[in-house]
Structure 1
Amino acid sequence: MTDTAAILAHFEAKLRFETDPSDVRAAQLAGDTFAFIDTRGDAAWNQGRAEGAVHLPTAQIASRAAELVPAGTPVVVYCWGPACNGATKAAIEFAKLGYAVREMIGGFEYWAREGMPVLTDSGHLHRPVDELTSPVNAISCDC
């Protein structure tokens, strides 16, 4: 027999604690208030980051979060991509401090591959949408 309640609880919990690049971008454009945190190191940040992100490497969260993220502000963290658990580690650090935190699945890799705005130290970097991650000629995937 299928445990529908357990299945439903599992997937609802995922959406409480995870988000994705297109939903984060939609929230930015809607003017939602949240701290968007790039948890990677300096070299990665300098190479490119999601527009609107604040740089706070995981190792500095415990000591610097309060100065950068006001208490009560929802937090979305990201790291490199699906093969990296850095954002999970960062989410744990924010949770220890009492923040409501979500992990952006796909990380910076999918932010960039889906054609979301990327900044470098030299300015904006436009990357074409990767057709394996997003529709090329549509606003969203409608999922």
Structure 2
Amino acid sequence: MLAFVDAKLAYEIDAVAAAAAQASGSAVIIDTRKQQSWDHGHIAGALHLPNASLDALPQTLPRDRCLIVYGWGPGCNGATHTTRQLLTAGFDVRELIGGYEYWVRNGFAIETAGTTSHPEPDPLVTAEPHQ
């Protein structure tokens, strides 16, 4: 069981750490959801790599930075499938715990139709707003 927990800690990242990694430029965030979900809203600055299009990985994915992969939320394992494929291809990858849902609940930047906004943070998730 300890090996399982160690593996989770090695390959998962929470929204706060992911936002910091994105802001520092040490990570690129990748959205694995379908086009309709992406259009509904996505993490600002994320790349769109739908799980359904993983037959061939884009040659443009950076190998010098961590790739943080996300899906809708805790009830979605699409990001896990993409994470596995990217790890198999030799990328440094982390899966975003809580996915898009917890990014939004933390109040981090999202983009919809070319407009970036910061949702109101959920006080049950974070004690202070993120700007």
**What secondary structure, in the 3-state scheme, does the structure 1 residue paired with 2:126 have?**
coil
List aligned pairs for 1:1-143, cutoff 5 A: 7=2, 9-29=3-23, 31-66=24-59, 68-135=60-127, 137=128
Larger Rg, first or second structure (1 or 2): 1
Deviation for aligned residue 1:124:
1.6
Deviation for aligned residue 1:119:
0.5
- Structure 1 stretch displaced more, 81-90 or 92-101: 92-101
What 5-or-longer segments of structure 1 have no aligned partner? Answer: 1-5
Is this contact kept in 1: 2:34–2:52, CA < 8 A? no
Deviation for aligned residue 1:72:
4.6
Q: Give the number of equivalent residue pairs.
A: 130
Structure 1 runs of 4+ with >4 Å offset: none
Could you say if the C-alpha distance between residues 28 and 73 of structure 1 is closer, same or farther in structure 2, counting changes exceeding 3 Å? Answer: closer
Q: Distance in 1 between matches of 2:86 and 2:41?
A: 23
What 5-or-longer segments of structure 2 have no aligned partner? Answer: none
Q: Distance in 1 between matches of 2:68 and 2:27?
A: 7
Higher helix content, 1 or 2: 1
TM-score (norm 1): 0.81
- Same amino acid, percent of matched pairs: 37
TM-score (norm 2): 0.88
Partner of 1:3: none
Could you say if the C-alpha distance between residues 22 and 10 of structure 1 is closer, same or farther in structure 2, counting changes exceeding 3 Å? Answer: same
RMSD: 1.8
Is this contact kept in 1: 2:106–2:121, CA < 8 A? yes
**What secondary structure, in the 3-state scheme, does the structure 1 residue paired with 2:101 have?**
helix
Is this contact kept in 1: 2:73–2:99, CA < 8 A? yes
